[in-house]
Structure 1
Amino acid sequence: MTSAPLRAARPVTSILVAGYGTLTSGIVPHLLSLPDTALTVASRHLTATPDPRATLIHPDAVGTTAPDVIIGCFADDEHSRAFWQHPRTTHVLADHRPACIELSTITPTWAEQWHLLLQDHGALPVECPVTGSRPGAIAGTLTAFLYSSAMDERAERVLGTFTRNRHRFTAPGHPARFKLVYNAWGATILHSLGVYAPLLPPLLGDDSATATEIITTDGWMSVIASTKLHRIHRDDYSDPDFTATHMAKDLRYARELLGRLPLLECTLKAFEETVKHSGPYADFTAVAVSEAP
Structure 2
Amino acid sequence: MTPAARRAPLPATTVVVAGYGVITAGILPHLAALPSLRVALTSRHLDRAPHGQVPLISPDDIPAGRPRVIVGCFEDDTRSRGFWGHPKVVAAIRAERPACIELSTITPDQAVRWHHEVTALGGAAWECPVTGSRPAAEAGTLSAFLHASGPSTAADEVLAAFTRNRYEFGRPGNPARFKLVFNAWGASLLHAAAVFARCLPDLLGPDYPTAAKVVTSDGWMAALADQKLHRIVSRAYEDPDFAVHHMVKDLRYARALLGDLPPLAAALDAFVAAEELHGPYADFTAVADPGR
TM-score by length of 2: 0.97
Distance 2:216 2:158 in 1: 34
1:166 is aligned to 2:181: no
Distance 2:158 2:263 in 1: 37
Q: CA deviation at 1:44?
A: 1.5
Shift of 1:50: 1.6
**Cα distance in 1 for residues equivalent to 2:37 and 2:152:** 17
Amino acid at match of 1:92: A
1:137 lines up with 2:137 in the alignment? yes
1:58 aligns with 2:63: no
**SS at structure 2 position matched to 1:228:** helix
Q: Which runs of 5+ in 2 are unaligned?
A: none
- Show the 5 A alignment for 1:102-121: 102-121=102-121
Per-residue CA shift, 1:122-152, capped at 9, x if unaligned? 0000000000000000000000000012221
Partner SS state of residue 144, structure 1: strand
Corresponding residue for residue 72 of structure 1: 72
Other-structure match for 2:241: 241
Q: Which sits farther off after the overlay, 113-122 or 46-55?
A: 46-55
Deviations 1:69-96 (A, max 9, x none): 0000000000000000121111110001
AA aligned to 2:87 is P
Structure 1 position 156, deviation (Å): 0.7
1:247-266 mapped onto 2 (5 Å cutoff): 247-266=247-266
**What do the CA deviations read for 1:231-290 (whole angstroms, capped 9, x no partner)?**
011110000000000000000000000011111111101011011000000000000011
| 1:184–1:291 Cα change, 3 Å | farther
Query: 1: CA distance between counterparts of 2:291 and 2:188?
Result: 13
Counterpart Cα distance in 2 of 1:66 and 1:240? 35
CA distance in 2, matches of 1:263, 1:36: 46
- For 2:256 and 2:222, the matched residues in 1 are separated by 31
Q: Distance in 1 between matches of 2:183 and 2:33?
A: 30
Whether the 8 Å CA contact 2:59–2:88 is kept in 1: the answer is no
Aligned equivalents of 1:278, 1:63: Cα separation in 2: 41
1:163-208 CA-partner distances (Å, limit 9, x unpaired): 0000000000000000000000000000012211011011101111
2:249 alignment partner AA: K
Look up the match of 1:13.
13
Please say if residues 98 and 123 of structure 1, whose CA atoms lie closer than 8 Å, have aligned partners that are also in contact: yes
State the TM-score, normalizing by the size of structure 1.
0.97
- CA–CA distance in 2 between the matches of 1:151 and 1:96? 15
1:4 aligns with 2:2: yes
Q: Distance in 1 between matches of 2:154 and 2:168?
A: 17
Figure out how many residues of one structure are paired with residues of the other and give that number.
290
Whether the 8 Å CA contact 1:135–1:241 is kept in 2: the answer is: yes
Hey, what's the Cα distance between the residues in 2 that align with 1:216 and 1:248? 26
What RMSD in Å do the two structures reach over aligned CA positions? 1.1
- State the 1:51 CA deviation: 1.5
Q: What is the one-letter code of the residue matched to 2:129?
A: P
Counterpart CA distance in 1 for 2:283 and 2:194 is 13
SS at match of 2:289: helix
Q: In structure 2, what residue type is equivalent to 1:78? A: T
SS in 1 for 2:70: strand
| Deviation larger for 136-145 or 63-72 | 63-72
Displaced runs of 4 or more, over 6 A = none
Alignment partners' CA distance in 1, 2:199 and 2:173:
40
Query: Matched residue of 2:290: which SS?
Result: helix
| Equivalent pair of 2:273/2:291 in contact (CA under 8 Å) | no
- Give secondary structure in 1 for the equivalent of 2:100: strand
Deviation at 1:33, TM superposition (A): 1.5
The unaligned stretches of length 5 or more in structure 1 are none
The code of the aligned residue for 2:7 comes to R
Could you say what secondary structure the match of 1:16 adopts?
strand
Q: Which residue of 2 aligns with 1:89?
A: 89
Deviation of 1:4 (Å): 2.3
CA distance in 2: counterparts of 1:41 and 1:18, whole angstroms? 6
User: Partner letter of residue 143 of structure 1?
Assistant: S
Partner SS state of residue 241, structure 2 = coil
Alignment of 1:160-239 (within 5 A): 160-239=160-239
Tell me, in whole angstroms, the C-alpha distance in 1 between the residues paired with 2:291 and 2:276: 14
Deviation at 1:53, TM superposition (A): 1.1
Shift of 1:291: 6.5
